């Protein structure tokens, strides 16, 4: 049997100026999102909702993988990243406006790795939007989530409640590499 496939993060490439600017903005936003969700997790724990807290930690990990991918495209892993762009807010904004526009620019500039990094994030933000909507309904009804594991692809941040798919539908990484929360 073939070895299980694990994808690699998108690689550094020479970026068009517009794409570089967008990827830096996306990096700042994903980094802030990761920290925000860790803070939310502590609030959920404090309210006696440990499974909601666990979900927030899983999504924080997915956001930090998006930040890692953007850093990789920028050629900045293991280096200092100076002069990052300002942040922005929200899964919906990232899904409806930011990443589709970033992808269009990256494609126009033939920056395939930047396009891949943005595509990974866009697809995972769609997961998060759906999961958060369902979570919000439960918490508003006064209950925690159940204790079903949350699993996150370590490459693209694809986020699922329950078992990992045999292959990540976004990047192809095998189920055994998913991180469990």
List of residues contacting Fe ion (CB under 5 A): 30, 63, 66, 91, 121, 125, 128, 153, 155-156, 158, 168, 170-171, 173
Minimum CB distance to Fe ion smaller for 19 or for 119: 119
Minimum CB distance to Fe ion smaller for 63 or for 144: 63
Whole-angstrom distance, CA of residue 80 vs CA of residue 99: 24
Minimum CB distance to Fe ion smaller for 96 or for 110: 96
Nearest-approach distance from CB 41 to Fe ion, in angstroms: 14
Nearest-approach distance from CB 142 to Fe ion, in angstroms: 25
Nearest-approach distance from CB 59 to Fe ion, in angstroms: 6
Minimum CB distance to Fe ion smaller for 72 or for 142: 72
Minimum CB distance to Fe ion smaller for 66 or for 151: 66
Nearest-approach distance from CB 138 to Fe ion, in angstroms: 19
104 is written with which tokens? 């269009």
Nearest-approach distance from CB 67 to Fe ion, in angstroms: 8
Secondary structure in 3-state letters for the chain: CCCCCCCCCCCCCCCCHHHHHHHHHHHHHHHHHHHHHHHHHHHHHHCCCHHHHHHHHHHHHHHHHHHHHHHHHCCCCCCCCCCCCCCCCCHHHHHHHHHHHHHHHHHHCCCHHHHHHHHHHHHHHHHHHHHHHHHHHHHHCCCCCCCCCEEECCCCCCEEECCCCCECCCCCCEHHHCEEC
């Amino acid at each position: 049997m073939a070895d299980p496939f694990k994808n690699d993060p998108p690689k550094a490439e020479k970026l068009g100026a517009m794409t570089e600017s967008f990827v830096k903005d996306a990096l700042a936003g994903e980094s802030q999102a990761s920290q925000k969700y860790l803070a939310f997790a502590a609030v959920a724990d404090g309210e006696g909702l440990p499974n909601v807290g666990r979900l927030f930690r899983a999504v924080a990990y997915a956001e930090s993988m998006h930040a890692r991918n953007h850093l990789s495209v920028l050629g900045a892993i293991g280096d200092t990243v100076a002069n990052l762009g300002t942040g922005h807010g929200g899964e919906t904004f990232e899904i409806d406006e930011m990443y589709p526009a970033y992808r269009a620019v990256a494609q126009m500039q033939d920056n395939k790795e930047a396009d891949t990094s943005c595509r990974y994030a866009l697809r995972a933000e769609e997961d998060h939007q759906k999961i958060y909507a369902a979570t919000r309904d439960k918490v508003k009804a006064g209950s925690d989530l159940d204790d079903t594991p949350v699993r996150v692809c370590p490459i693209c941040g694809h986020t699922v409640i329950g078992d990992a798919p045999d292959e990540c539908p976004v990047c192809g990484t095998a189920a055994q590499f998913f991180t469990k929360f």
